[in-house]
Amino acid sequence: MPEFRKDPLLGRWVIVARERGERPASLRFENSEEPLAPADDPFSEGNERFTPSEVYALRSAGSVPNGPGWQLRVVPNRYPALRVEGELDPASYGLYDRMNGVGAHEVVIETPDSKLAFADFSLSQISRVLEAYRQRIDDLYRDIRLAHVLVFKNHGREAGATQQYSHSQIIATPMLPLRLREELNSCLQHWRLKRRSLFMDILSEELRMRERLVFENEHVVAFCPYAGYSPFEVMLIPRVQSADFRKASPAQLEAVAEALKTVLAMWRSALGDGAWNFMLHTAPNAASLAAPEEEFPGYESFFCWHLEMFPRLTTSAGFEWGTGMHINPVPPEEAAAALRAAEVAV
């Protein structure tokens, strides 16, 4: 069973989840990453028996669950960092604090085409992936043990991907993650001072200054954040304050798909092909035992869902680990200008 352990010095939870297998990969420096032959790939169509039973799927008429004939599947991770079974059972361990690793860890198999890269998906394929995220968050938020769901995508080995097959991941945690809590806290302080959404204030500022804008359409705006931690980092937020990604309309999801595909095409044009991550932050589970409304009263009015995405151009080194401070070698204004100048057709 995975467990949560609290770091007494940094005051944060760490997940200790033992790898399966005789010799865990992280017991050696060598890192084998052979692409799997489609016949051996558990994500491939026809190999559904190698994954746990699907919890969501888009299927052709007449196909049956956990068989072929799908456009997209969501399945529990075979090697989950957190598990849905059981209770947290918080306990002390000598001086320390621990809890069982309760949560959820799912994989979104985004396409039956094992060779197709996410950046080459059609807009409607990307929209379907986003709709799957929406549905899964909605389903997971029915579990009152789960305080938050993070959806993220690791593309390429430097971004932490262990499989080449295009997929994303969903991890639900019983506590609010530190980053989300920091964002909620900044937004709460801003709200108390100004009665305004910090996200919408940032959006107004970016639309006024324009120098960090990357892309905009009717529903969403993409820009390089003023104090981005990573070169060419992009934030994507809706034009209208909305805390909960579950409430995104089909038109909004299509707009996000267009922005996402455009930014990926801009990166490719400006930087070449490489590894990248995106992370979707949405409102916590109001119905959960973590009771986020008590800690951040009114967050529906001032927190806003958003997508953070960055190409893996730099490596976190001793300075970043030792200080928590990042060095960004490309001013966001210059990154945005380079991206705007990229010729892309989406």
Residues 157-176 touching its own copies, rule: CB under 8 A, are 157-161, 169, 171, 173
Q: Which is nearer to its own copies, 5 or 340 (CB)?
A: 5
Alpha-carbon distances of 193 from 15, 298, 303, rounded to whole Å: 35, 14, 15
**324: its two tokens:** 């928590």
* 280 contacts 260 by C-beta, under 8 angstroms: no
* 91 contacts 98 by C-beta, under 8 angstroms: yes
Q: Which is nearer to its own copies, 48 or 143 (CB)?
A: 143
**112: its two tokens:** 């039956």
Binding mask 252-281 for its own copies (x = CB under 8 A): ------------------xxxxxx-xxxxx
How many C-beta atoms surround the C-beta of residue 189 within 10 A?
Answer: 12
Q: Which residues in the 296-315 window bind its own copies by CB under 8 A?
A: 308, 310-311, 313-315
CA–CA dist 220, 213 (Å, integer): 11
CA–CA dist 187, 175 (Å, integer): 19
Q: Which residues in the 16-75 window bind its own copies by CB under 8 A?
A: 16-19, 24-30
Only one of the segments 14-22, 33-41, 57-65, 68-76 lies at the binding site for its own copies (rule: CB under 8 A); that segment is 14-22
Q: How far is the CB of 35 from its own copies (least distance, A)?
A: 18
- What single-letter DSSP state applies at residue 40? G
- What single-letter DSSP state applies at residue 112? S
CA–CA dist 38, 53 (Å, integer): 19
Q: How far is the CB of 150 from its own copies (least distance, A)?
A: 5
Q: Which is nearer to its own copies, 196 or 247 (CB)?
A: 196
Q: Which of 106, 110, 183, 258 binds its own copies (CB under 8 A)?
A: 183
Q: Which residues in the 189-248 window bind its own copies by CB under 8 A?
A: 190, 198-199, 201-202, 205, 208-209, 225-229, 231
Q: How far is the CB of 85 from its own copies (least distance, A)?
A: 18
